[in-house]
Amino acid sequence: MPHNWTAEEREQLTRLRLAAAMHTPDATMAIGVTEQGDPWCTIFSPQTGEVIINVARIAGDYIRMPGSHGAVRSDDLGACIEAFLMLRPLRAGFGGEPVAKGQQGLGERGRRA
């Protein structure tokens, strides 16, 4: 796997950001690479600091937060995104916790989607 998001992955992540923007108009996507070389993406509201979703690719698996019981793992980014959109429809007020300075890690150990 490449250490950065592929063009196809970026398209899927952009689709997710556009879906979030339907109910959170200022939804913004930030992407980067961890010190270990794993790509990550966070979609958030810069106005409120609310994190809508985090996605990372680690060791070939996609990990997304929030999940109903912590992180969710999948080997298919599209399926990971679709499951998120179907189980937790984006609506006003939806999302995770405000971004905490210095927040790290994925929380609970991931489970397969």
Tokens of 108: 């609970």
What are the two backbone dihedrals, phi and then psi, of residue 26, each rounded to the nearest 5 degrees? -95, 15
CB burial of residue 86 (10 Å; 0-12, 13-18, 19+) = exposed
What pLDDT, in 10s, does the model give residues 26-76?
999 999 999 999 999 999 999 999 888 899 999 999 998 875 556 888 999
What pLDDT, in 10s, does the model give residues 71-89?
888 999 998 888 778 765 5
Q: Which fold has domain 7-88?
A: SHC Adaptor Protein (3.30.505)
pLDDT for the residue 87: 64
In this prediction the pTM is 0.72
Q: Where are the domains of the chain?
A: 7-88
